Amino acid sequence: MKTLLVTFTPRTGSHTARLVAHARQHIRGDIDLIDLARRPVAMLDTAAVDAYVKRNYGGQTLAADEAAALAVQDADVAKVLAADVLMLASPMHNFAMPGPLKAFLDGIIQKGRTWDADANGYRGLMTGRRALALFSSGGVYGDGGGDHYSPLARTLFGFMGYSEAEVISAQGTSRDAAQAVASAQAALDALLPRWYVDAV
Ligand SMILES: Cc1cc2nc3c(=O)[nH]c(=O)nc-3n(C[C@H](O)[C@H](O)[C@H](O)COP(=O)(O)O)c2cc1C
């Protein structure tokens, strides 16, 4: 059983980091960690997106400099493909996931790797695996909108075909951080033992 933990928790004293520490207590098997707060952001800039389209849509082989433009994204995809569980964790920034986490996702949602398309339409390739997005937010969001993190995470996990996808959040940290974190930790306690019950 392998878990890929992708974190972006840049704030000293991060509430989200406490959720990650709690989640880690439930994880069984190997953990691979990508700490997005401690590496440069790999964007789909001109060189990267041109190489991606040439290879993943055009089926062409890349020259060395073109392959280099996708090196970070390709290394990330390899880690995602090797993982039974993908776990993302970050605070909410400006009503959604912070840019570095979105850039990570832009890098791994690759045609022919995590999803594909044919005459029948789009097809996620991550079936049989699980994904979790873990975030904390200062505000509390009900069904009235404003939380763009949860629906985007669910859409992207679904697009990649994850068989089970969950979002757990500690909402309301600006009002009562201890209570928000405790309720998210309880949600982790309710979910993760089942995910790792057969883990070796
Ligand atoms: C740059 C920035 C943007 C934020 N944007 C939002 C927001 O849009 N909605 C919200 O509810 N909280 C927002 N917050 C508050 C954080 O989401 C909240 O304090 C969260 O618990 C921080 O998590 P952390 O302790 O792991 O950094 C923002 C905080 C920062 C620093």
Q: Which structural domains are found in the chain, ordered by start?
A: 2-195 (3.40.50.360)
Q: Residues with beta carbon inside 6 Å of ligand 1?
A: 9, 11, 14-16, 91-95, 136-139, 173-174
Average pLDDT over residues 117-133: 96
What confidence tier does 148 reach under pLDDT thresholds 50, 70, 90? very high
Q: Any idea how long the chain is?
A: 200
Higher pLDDT pick, 76 / 200? 76
Q: What number is the average pLDDT over the span 153-160?
A: 98
Q: How far is ligand 1, taken at its centre, from the CA of residue 10, in Å?
A: 11
Q: How far is the CA of 91 from the centre of ligand 1 (A)?
A: 6
Instruction: Output the CA 79–ligand 1 centroid distance in Å.
Output: 28
Q: What is the pLDDT of residue 65?
A: 98
Q: pLDDT tier at 200 (50, 70, 90 boundaries)?
A: low
**What pLDDT was estimated at residue 143?**
78
pLDDT value at 52 more than 70: yes
**Which pLDDT tens digit goes with each residue over 65-116?**
999 999 999 999 999 999 999 999 999 999 999 999 999 999 999 999 999 9
Query: Average pLDDT of the chain?
Result: 97
- Spatial separation of the C-alpha atoms in residues 6 and 96, rounded to whole Å: 16
Question: Is residue 142 predicted with pLDDT exceeding 90?
Answer: no
Give the position, in ligand 1's atom list, of the atom nearest the Cα of 9.
Answer: 26
Q: Side chain identity at 162, as an amino acid letter?
A: Y
Residue 42 has pLDDT above 80, yes or no: yes
Least confident residue range of 35-39, 71-75, 115-119, 141-145: 141-145
Residue nearest to atom 12 of ligand 1 (CA): 138
CA distance 190 to 101: 25
Q: From the CA of 145, how far away is ligand 1's center (Å)?
A: 16
Nearest CA to ligand 1 atom 30: 93
Question: What phi and psi values does residue 61 have, to the nearest 5 degrees?
Answer: -80, 140
